[in-house]
Amino acid sequence: MQNRVISRPPVPPTEVAVNAGPEVARFRQEFREWLKQHAPADLRGVAWPVSEHSPHRQRLLEWGNVLAEAGYMCVAWPTEYGGRGLSPTEIAVMNEEFDSANVPRVTRGRAETTVGPAIIAHGSPEQKAYFLPRIISGEHVYSQGFSEPNSGSDLASLRTSGFVEGDELVINGQKVWTSGYYEATMMFVLVRTDPDSSRHSGISYVLVPVKDNGPGTGVEFRPIRQLTGKSGFAETFFEDARVPLFNVIGQLNDGWRVTVTTLGHERGNRATTAHVGYARDFWALVEQLRSRGDLSNPVVREKLAWAWTQIETMRFSGLQLLATLAAGQDASSRAENGSSTKIRWSEYARRFGEIALDLIGPDGLTSGNSNPGRLGHWQESFLSSRSGTIWGGTAEVQRNIIAERVLGMPKENRGQGR
Ligand SMILES: Cc1cc2nc3c(=O)[nH]c(=O)nc-3n(C[C@H](O)[C@H](O)[C@H](O)COP(=O)(O)OP(=O)(O)OC[C@H]3O[C@@H](n4cnc5c(N)ncnc54)[C@H](O)[C@@H]3O)c2cc1C
């Protein structure tokens, strides 16, 4: 009786797509076999995405290349663009198999889930032929240049400017909160290219090469130190940065359409997988508390029960969303959509961060590793979870979206935010 609620083996809940029909079952078997043969033993249990300090960085990149060569990268993209044309259900199956094998699914990050789909939807044949293979190969790693110092939720108020000179666009201005700048070779940037325009017209969506940046190169990153002590993001300054007009996706001044495609993917893509990582963290916490003999404490058990209930809720809402997508339906006006999922996982992560530190107690104040100045796991997840309700569209803005699109309430009197 004592450990009934939390004695479940430390395996995240998987097989969300278990009864999806014979074709999906065949795909699962094929991929499971492939993974058995190729999964690198030294990466078992290693986390992806990689942080700037990860000791596994190089090995993860190599593992990503193995996946790309075998055709397991950008799997949602149509086959004609180098993808595999997998359905949301098949992708869920793939995630489950990575999870069962306990190896990370290395992806091309936002290039795969946001820029790539935007290029596929709005790029010219020549742009698709040039940019998409470079995303798959990992040559082009993208950071996102949307937010500006006075323009975050209200993205359409952006002021970074661009003017055409010959066959180039010349960019001046500043972006902020550029995540992953340290590994980026490219940046997708929103630029106001019609100075007489306002709001959503007159904006262009530009792919800016940023590899050898620094003072005097036209693009300069100035790292911002975060709560965790790391510098995962930067301010980005453009000073007469020159980009070929070829790199403008969609038409000049018509970038808002491309942006809407990008934002839709940004919000939706964690829906069916978010619970897996949280389940891992949950069981890691349970194990730590078990080793200290804390599991019989009713206060501990109550908090863990709350957390597990939330994880199960996330799993079920992910399933619901998956079912909608698998039926080929648009989920944006449904109760389970990208916005509701984002609110749920980001608010859960904040609360779980607090609970974990609370339950660990004074041990949570020491780093638990020998590297001076580095945080322990629970400290880091507590601090980094603070930002989840902000990035990718704040919780308040997501609630507005639900109010308007799901509940049909009157629109707020404002421009279209993020
Ligand atoms: C960790 C992290 C990583 C990020 N990475 C990137 C990145 O790589 N690239 C990038 O371009 N940006 C990035 N961002 C920026 C992020 O997208 C913005 O912070 C976010 O869109 C909010 O904008 P803001 O910070 O300007 O806040 P504001 O828009 O100024 O909002 C301030 C407050 O007002 C509320 N608010 C604003 N408008 C409304 C409204 N209409 N109704 C109700 N409430 C409202 C907000 O919810 C918030 O609480 C990142 C942010 C964080 C924290």
Residue type, 35: L
Q: State residue 319's pLDDT score.
A: 83
Q: How confident is the model at residue 128 (pLDDT cuts 50, 70, 90)?
A: very high
In short, whether 142's Cβ falls inside 6 Å of ligand 1 is: no
Q: State residue 1's pLDDT score.
A: 36
Q: State residue 268's pLDDT score.
A: 52
pLDDT tens-digit profile of 374-415?
678 888 889 989 999 999 899 999 999 999 989 999 987 765
Whether 87 shows a pLDDT value over 90: the answer reads no
The pairing of strands 186-192 and 203-209 is antiparallel
Q: State residue 19's pLDDT score.
A: 65
Which of 97, 266, 336, 380 is labelled catalytic? 266
Average pLDDT, the chain: 88
List, in order of start, the domains of the chain with CATH numbers. Answer: 20-106 (1.10.540), 141-254 (2.40.110.10), 270-407 (1.20.140.10)
What backbone phi and psi angles, to 5 degrees, belong to 191? Answer: -135, 135
Mutational pocket test of ligand 1: of 142, 144, 391, 409, the residue with most ligand atoms within 8 Å of the beta carbon: 391
Cα(176) to centroid of ligand 1, in Å? 10
Q: How confident is the model at residue 367 (pLDDT cuts 50, 70, 90)?
A: low
Cα(34) to centroid of ligand 1, in Å? 41
Whether 15 shows a pLDDT value over 70: the answer reads no
Better-scored residue on pLDDT, 198 or 246: 246
42 to 172, 238, 334, 378: CA distances (angstroms): 45, 41, 42, 24
Average pLDDT of span 367-379: 69
SS3 (DSSP) at 94: helix
The pairing of strands 248-249 and 203-209 is antiparallel
In short, whether 397's Cβ falls inside 6 Å of ligand 1 is: yes
Report how many helices (DSSP H) and strands (DSSP E) the chain contains, helices first: 12, 8
Average pLDDT of span 283-294: 93
Whether 61 shows a pLDDT value over 50: the answer reads yes
Whether 246 shows a pLDDT value over 60: the answer reads yes
203, β-bridge pairs:
192, 254
Distance CA(175)–CA(6), nearest Å, equals 46
Q: State residue 336's pLDDT score.
A: 82
The pairing of strands 142-145 and 186-192 is parallel
219 to 43, 180, 213, 376, 410: CA distances (angstroms): 35, 15, 5, 34, 42
In short, whether 221's Cβ falls inside 6 Å of ligand 1 is: no
Average pLDDT of span 234-261: 95
Distance CA(357)–CA(287), nearest Å, equals 14
SS3 (DSSP) at 355: helix
Is 266 an active-site residue?
A: yes
Q: State residue 11's pLDDT score.
A: 45
Q: State residue 88's pLDDT score.
A: 84
Q: State residue 13's pLDDT score.
A: 46
Distance CA(108)–CA(61), nearest Å, equals 10
189, β-bridge pairs:
145, 206
In short, whether 285's Cβ falls inside 6 Å of ligand 1 is: no
Q: Whose CA is nearest to atom 37 of ligand 1?
A: 153
In short, whether 147's Cβ falls inside 6 Å of ligand 1 is: yes
**Angle (CA) 418 253 198, round 5°:** 60
Whether 272 shows a pLDDT value over 80: the answer reads no
pLDDT tens-digit profile of 91-124?
888 988 888 888 999 999 999 999 999 999 999 9
Average pLDDT of span 238-242: 97
In short, whether 385's Cβ falls inside 6 Å of ligand 1 is: no
pLDDT tens-digit profile of 322-357?
888 778 888 888 888 888 988 999 999 999 999 999
Q: What is the pTM of this model?
A: 0.91
Q: State residue 54's pLDDT score.
A: 77
Contacts of 4 (CB under 8 A, 6+ apart): none
Please answer whether residues 48 and 102 qualify as being in contact, where contact means their C-beta atoms are separated by less than 8 angstroms: no
Contacts of 375 (CB under 8 A, 6+ apart): 228, 229, 367, 383
Instruction: Kindly compute the dihedral angle of the four CA atoms of residues 388, 13, 336, 390, in this order, to the nearest 10 degrees.
Output: 0
> What is the percent of the chain with per-residue pLDDT over 90, rounded to a whole number?
63
Secondary structure element (H or E) that encloses residue 186, with its range? strand 186-192
Q: Whose CA is nearest to atom 17 of ligand 1?
A: 391
Tokens of residue 385, six digits: 């979870």
Q: State residue 10's pLDDT score.
A: 43
Cα(233) to centroid of ligand 1, in Å? 14
Whether 284 shows a pLDDT value over 70: the answer reads yes
Question: How many residues in total does the chain contain?
Answer: 418
Average pLDDT of span 7-32: 69
Average pLDDT of span 69-80: 96
Q: State residue 6's pLDDT score.
A: 40
Whether 366 shows a pLDDT value over 90: the answer reads no
Q: State residue 5's pLDDT score.
A: 40
Outline where 114-157 has alpha helix (H). Answer: 116-122, 125-137
Q: State residue 372's pLDDT score.
A: 56
